[in-house]
Amino acid sequence: MAYEKTQVVLNQAVADLSQFSVMIHQTHWYMRGEEFLTLHPKMDEFMDGINDQLDEVAERLITIGGAPFSTLKEFAEETKLVEKPGTYKTDMTTRMEELVAGYRYLQGLYAQGIEIAGEEGDNVTEDMFIDFKGTVEKQIWMLTAKLGQAPNI
């Protein structure tokens, strides 16, 4: 079983998770203010979580016969997340809102992956996407709570 459509969504996730990790890292580096001591290590946790998902997605793609993107050029060309140059002028509220937007994007991508993997009968990938969707929804909840908002999942 080739799981062709599942391979496509998995590779999209490879590109997007790679880009999102960089976006989180940028927040980590371009951070100042009274919340620095709390938020700086939190970004490490977020990066670790995204990088763990990236590794699992790429390995699943290989397992089902695909070939994950593996160059910065491929990630940049294939990602649907928009990158911006780092600057200290971006306040932390804006940075947190950008992270929420990134997690919401992944939430939608994982929902798409659940549907496609389910249609193709790839229950293992479907389960992986279900787990990841729950994880990013928790991150959305935590970040929106920090912003004084409801998660609106």
153 in any annotated domain: no
41 in any annotated domain: yes
Instruction: Give the residue from 129, 146, 133, 142 showing the smallest Cα distance to 5.
Output: 129
Indicate the residue type of 122: D
The number of domains in the chain is: 1
Average pLDDT over residues 112-121: 98
CA pseudo-torsion sign 29, 143, 47, 64: negative
Q: What's the domain range around 39?
A: 4-146
Q: What is the pLDDT of residues 78-109, one digit of tens each?
A: 999 998 999 999 999 999 999 999 999 999 99
pLDDT category, 2, cuts 50, 70, 90?
confident
Angstrom CA distances, 63 to 4, 10, 12, 135, stand at 13, 11, 16, 23
28 in any annotated domain: yes
Q: How far apart are CA 47 and CA 42, in angstroms?
A: 9
| CATH code for the domain of 53 | 1.20.1260.10
Instruction: Give the residue from 48, 50, 64, 63 showing the smallest Cα distance to 109.
Output: 50
97 in any annotated domain: yes
Q: What is the pLDDT of residues 32-78, one digit of tens each?
A: 988 999 999 999 999 999 999 999 999 999 999 999 999 999 999 99
151 in any annotated domain: no
8 in any annotated domain: yes
Whole-number CA gyration radius for the chain: 16
Query: Any alpha helices (H) in the chain, and if so which ranges?
Result: 4-29, 36-63, 72-78, 92-120, 123-146
Angstrom CA distances, 62 to 8, 15, 57, 67, 82, stand at 12, 15, 9, 6, 26
pLDDT category, 28, cuts 50, 70, 90?
very high
152 in any annotated domain: no
pLDDT category, 132, cuts 50, 70, 90?
very high
Query: Considering the entire predicted model, what is its pTM?
Result: 0.95
Q: Is the pLDDT of residue 1 over 80?
A: no
24 in any annotated domain: yes
